[in-house]
Amino acid sequence: MLRTVAATRYVAPFREGGSLPALCEADDDGLYVVKFRGAGQGRKALVAEVIAGELARALGFAVPELVVADLDDAFGLAEPDPEIQDLLRVSVGMNLGVDYLPGALPLAPATGELPGAEAAADVVWLDAYLTNVDRTARNTNMLWWHGRLYLIDHGASLYFHHDDRRAARFERAPFAAVREHVLLPYAASIAEADARLAPRVTEQLVDEVVGLVPDPFLDGDDRAVYRDYLRARIAAPRAFAEEAERARP
């Protein structure tokens, strides 16, 4: 179960994206990047954040702590922006908080500060498994903090759940977008990453991770859909890993 905090103060919006996440203070004196259930990207982005983020953490990747950020109906009333007020009004209750990493710097390959080749391959493998389309040179969604690479912003993962007309055996599909992955040019063998990571994605781990998604994020959707998808996708042979290996420069 994710830890729950009560959001106590709206500090500032992040206007880089379209969903208006915000930096908020909570009753544990922590600062969190809060992603709101009522935002344009919708609650499914929060489902993807929890599943992808917690699966990554279980596999040993560094991910900021995810919490349930609870908003009461008086939260943010002093915020003068009507767009933000409307967003907060439709997001009363459970939202997702991501631990804020002060002073963290975005990964910028042009500077030459990169993870090792095996670590890069592991990230590529993870994103191919989770169909994360949002780890590109335009938007790396990785931060250096205290000498460690943190993975953030997984809301674009598991994009199958946005399509109600899924093809047969969609779970087994390769992942063409892996060719745009920012770390692919720097990655060691994806096949070897597959051998390292795939055996650790057990049915028990999948069940535990999917079970962490709060019910309000699902809003009546069957969590078994996610469980079955992740189980089927990890079964051998894994087309996503084979395609990622072929895509390496």
Residues 243 and 120 grouped into a single domain: yes
Give yes or no: residues 47 and 117 share one domain. no
- Computed over every residue of the chain, the mean pLDDT equals 93
Owning domain of residue 66: 3-99
Q: Are residues 199 and 213 in the same domain?
A: yes
Confidence of residue 169 (pLDDT cuts 50, 70, 90): confident
154 is written with which tokens?
A: 């997984």
Whether residues 86 and 149 share a domain: the answer is no
Question: Is 134 in the same domain as 57?
Answer: no
Torsion of CA 168, 172, 177, 180, to 10 degrees: -170
Final residue in a domain of this structure, among 55, 75, 99: 99
Q: What is the dihedral of CA 198, 199, 204, 209, to 10 degrees?
A: -30
Q: What's the structural domain count of the chain?
A: 2
The reply to whether 59 and 44 lie within a common domain is yes
Q: What pTM, to 2 d.p., does this model score? A: 0.95
Q: Are residues 88 and 206 in the same domain?
A: no
Same domain membership, residue 189 and residue 154? yes
> In degrees to the nearest 10, what's the CA dihedral of 173, 137, 126, 34?
-110
Domain boundary among 65, 99, 133: 99
Residue 228 has a pLDDT of 95
Quote the pLDDT of residue 167. Answer: 65
Q: What count of Cα atoms within 13 Å lies in the side-chain half-sphere of residue 30?
A: 19
Same domain, 39 and 124: no
